[in-house]
Amino acid sequence: MEILEQIAREAEKNTQVPAYPRSVEKVIAAVMSSSDFWKIVDLSDEPLPLVAEILKLLNKHDLVAFEGDQILLTEAGAELARKAKIEAFASHVCPRCKGRGVVIDNLREAYEKFLKIQEERPPAIHQFDQGYVTPENTFARVALADSRGDLRGKKVVVLGDDDLMSIALALSGLPAKVTILEIDERLVNFIKEVSDKYNLGIDARVHDLRQPLPEDVVGAYDTFFTDPPETVEAIKAFVGRGVATLKAERCAGYFGVTRRESSLDKWRKIQKVLLDMGLVITDLIHNFNEYVNWDYYEEMRGWQLTPVKKAPEDIWYRSTQFRVETVRGFKGFNEPIVGDIYNDAESSTT
Ligand SMILES: NCCCCN(CCCN)CCCN
């Protein structure tokens, strides 16, 4: 299909994001499934900047029309879809576990407490690329880690915690110890207050993860959680630091990587960084994480790129949950990080 090839090439040239005919096909399939820009990004699983550019090029070729804040296929677009055998997306996701493979039924009591506590949480701010996951998702991460034997009696560290994972872990009563390192004082103070009030014993410290870890955290933990910004540098900084906290071989780490701000070409680089750190990727659960819409969306780069201006309503930003485990020869990364860990051609919510 010449036109798909041509649009892919032009989109890549204009965005510096790797683009393929399949990227264009998926955007067309998403437009056949929804007229909402954010839902189209969600369904296409391509980086936001690339989706925005492909939509503009499809519009230029009169294959897609922008009517108000709706994005619709034109007659010519529908004809192209027929010829290229492109259909709307079919969903087979489990309604019970939402595709996560775990449920939080056995964490009900801690979850109810968390729901109340998190009502006072500090809002997500643009400065640190914050965006927290839903409370149910936070507990699904606890359930996943517990089902892998990574929590009971273990020392757990959370690197960056706008998700309040530290509070959820401590409320579950499963880990022997919970430490959190977080750059944002608002979050550290909130977590300390909650820990004091509910007697959770959380070791919470202000720390900029671009700086090496505190001495007593290096090589002292069994399991780490983090949810890094979407650049390879940030993965090195946050996950590399996570690995540096681990005691030994066969220890686990959990983090999210999105398709919203990372192409598969970037995923390949990220996965190579993980393997080079001596990690095995044991689990990769697509759309495990769902992020509550943050209110600074008009300040993010992605907003400037959208072809129609409409506030996101439903959750659209999701990430794949990775579980990694150390084997012989693993090595963490504990050098100072310089330079920008928040922005690259594909990131767009910073
Ligand atoms: N900028 C808004 C969305 C950021 C999500 N990122 C950090 C999430 C922290 N809970 C990256 C998520 C995937 N690594």
Give the model confidence (pLDDT) of 174-191 as tens digits: 999 999 999 999 999 999
Q: What is the mean pLDDT of residues 132-152?
A: 98
Determine the atom of ligand 1 nearest the C-alpha atom of 229.
11
Average pLDDT of the chain to the nearest whole number: 97
The pLDDT assigned to 237 comes to: 86
The pLDDT assigned to 169 comes to: 98
Assess: ipTM above 0.90: yes
Instruction: Determine whether the shortest distance from the Cβ of 161 to ligand 1 is under 6 A.
Output: no
Nearest-CA residue for ligand 1 atom 6 is: 229
Q: What is the mean pLDDT of residues 290-303?
A: 94
| 3-7, 33-37, 332-336: the lowest-pLDDT one | 332-336
Answer whether residue 1 shows pLDDT above 80.
no
Instruction: Answer for the pair 219, 243: CB distance below 8 angstroms, yes or no.
Output: no
Mutation to probe ligand 1, out of 42, 159, 291 (largest number of atoms < 8 A from CB): 291
pTM of the model: 0.97
What percentage of residues in the chain have a pLDDT greater than 70?
100
Give the model confidence (pLDDT) of 89-112 as tens digits: 999 999 999 999 999 999 999 999
Instruction: Determine whether the shortest distance from the Cβ of 317 to ligand 1 is under 6 A.
Output: yes
The pLDDT assigned to 333 comes to: 94
What percentage of residues in the chain have a pLDDT greater than 90?
95
Mutation to probe ligand 1, out of 227, 274, 295, 343 (largest number of atoms < 8 A from CB): 227
Determine the atom of ligand 1 nearest the C-alpha atom of 124.
2
Answer whether residue 338 shows pLDDT above 90.
no
**Residue 340 — very low, low, confident or very high, per pLDDT cuts 50/70/90?**
confident
Nearest-CA residue for ligand 1 atom 5 is: 131
Higher pLDDT, 350 or 248: 248
| 33-47, 135-149, 153-167, 226-240: the lowest-pLDDT one | 226-240
Instruction: Determine whether the shortest distance from the Cβ of 290 to ligand 1 is under 6 A.
Output: no
Cα of 257 vs centre of ligand 1, distance in Å, is 9
Give the model confidence (pLDDT) of 281-291 as tens digits: 999 999 999 99
**Residue 339 — very low, low, confident or very high, per pLDDT cuts 50/70/90?**
confident
**Residue 342 — very low, low, confident or very high, per pLDDT cuts 50/70/90?**
confident
Instruction: Determine whether the shortest distance from the Cβ of 228 to ligand 1 is under 6 A.
Output: yes
